[in-house]
Structure 1
Amino acid sequence: MSEHLDRTRPLWAQVSAVIAARIKEGAYPVGEKVPSVVELSTEFGIAASTAQKALTHLKREGLIRTEVGLGSFVADQSEPAS
């Protein structure tokens, strides 16, 4: 499934928004691997550096976690009990 991107806006932000929406919709459940840099580059027709920036943003937002040598996975979004 290829998404159409608006080339007048930052591509990394658009790609991260698509992946975030997929996470929220349950297309990528907690613990599931999200597409790699290469997979995102292919799907969206973007540079690897752009795909990496999108994943970095998702990690910074707490939506994904990374495991060295394994990839990126959907993070548990449940809030701790207060």
Structure 2
Amino acid sequence: MSIDLDRTRPIWRQVAAVIVERIEDGTYPAGSKVPSVVDLSTEFGVAASTAQKVLAHLKAEGLIRTEVGLGSFVADR
């Protein structure tokens, strides 16, 4: 799926909004793995640093949790 990003607004916020929407609509249910930095970079055509910022934001908001060596997962609500 191709997502059209508005290059006049912060890209990381737009990508984060898409991931939040996927969590809320059940595309990524609680406990499921969310895309990695590489996967986000590829899907959205963004730099790795942008993808890292997205995941850091989602973690700070309590929406995902990370497990070293395993990846990021949707947090239980």
1:16-45 CA distances to partner (integer Å, 9 max, x unpaired)? 010000000000000000000000000000
In the TM superposition, what is the alpha-carbon distance from 1:2 to its structure 2 partner?
A: 1.9
- The residue that corresponds to 2:47 in the other structure is 47
- The residue that corresponds to 1:75 in the other structure is 75
Question: Secondary structure at 2:8's aligned position in 1?
Answer: coil
Q: Which amino acid aligns with 1:76?
A: D
- The residue that corresponds to 2:13 in the other structure is 13
Taking only the aligned residue pairs, the percentage that are identical comes to 77
**Structure 1 regions of 5+ residues with no counterpart?**
78-82
TM score, norm. by length of structure 2: 0.98
Q: Give the whole-Å Cα distance in 2 for the aligned partners of 1:3 and 1:75.
A: 24
Q: Give the whole-Å Cα distance in 1 for the aligned partners of 2:44 and 2:64.
A: 19
Q: Which amino acid aligns with 1:54?
A: V
Question: Secondary structure at 1:9's aligned position in 2?
Answer: coil
Provide the alpha-carbon RMSD of the alignment.
0.5
1:38 and 2:38 are equivalent in the alignment: yes
Q: Which amino acid aligns with 2:13?
A: A
Q: Give the whole-Å Cα distance in 2 for the aligned partners of 1:11 and 1:54.
A: 9
Corresponding residue pairs, total: 77
4+ residue runs of structure 1 moved beyond 2 angstroms?
none
